[in-house]
Amino acid sequence: MTFKFELVSPERILVSEDVDQVVLPGAEGDFAVLEGHAPFVSTLRPGVLDVTGPGGRKQLLVRGGFAEVEPTRLTVLAERAYNVADLAACDIASQLESAEAELAGAKDDDARLTAYTLVEQLKALQSGSGARH
């Protein structure tokens, strides 16, 4: 059983497809969405969306955002998102450098935690482990 998944940036819809499951990096911890999920809204921390659909599995890196869950639809609003399979090593290194600068310049605990989480995600991608934690 599938549901509609949309990943939206300020400029355009990045992904719009029917999927079986999406695991998201919620602010309070990872959570999975399946068809028929109870409605709610969650903030997202930087991390990897793990999307499973009829065509297989893919991972999408988001730098935070919001998720709106409905029984037949999941909409993720992200300022920036990247398909992990399309990221070259130099892209990941560039993203990591930027995230480390954000961490160094963080003014409060929330900003530090957000930047730290992104740094750890990017290091995991850079090492090729693809681990979400």
The domain that holds 45 is classified in CATH as 2.60.15.10
133 found inside a domain: no
The least confident of 18-22, 50-54, 87-91, 109-113 is 87-91
For residues 45 and 58, state if they share a domain. yes
For residues 54 and 103, state if they share a domain. no
Instruction: Check residue 20 and give left, alpha or beta (phi > 0: left; psi -120 to 50: alpha).
Output: alpha
Of the pLDDT bands very low, low, confident and very high (cuts 50, 70, 90), residue 95 is confident
22 found inside a domain: yes
26 found inside a domain: yes
23 found inside a domain: yes
Q: How far apart are CA 68 and CA 113, in angstroms?
A: 23
For residues 68 and 96, state if they share a domain. no
For residues 38 and 75, state if they share a domain. yes
For residues 13 and 38, state if they share a domain. yes
pTM check: above 0.85: no
For residues 102 and 51, state if they share a domain. no
Count of structural domains, the chain: 2
For residues 63 and 22, state if they share a domain. yes
Going by C-beta distance under 8 Å and a sequence separation of 6 or more, which residues neighbour residue 15? 5, 6, 7, 51, 60
For residues 109 and 69, state if they share a domain. no
Q: Note the residue count of the chain.
A: 133
Considering only the C-alpha atoms of the chain, give the largest distance between any 2 of them, rounded to a whole number of Å.
45
For residues 67 and 18, state if they share a domain. yes
Quote the pLDDT of residue 33.
Answer: 97
For residues 24 and 62, state if they share a domain. yes
Range of the domain at 11: 3-83
Q: Is the pLDDT of residue 31 over 90?
A: yes
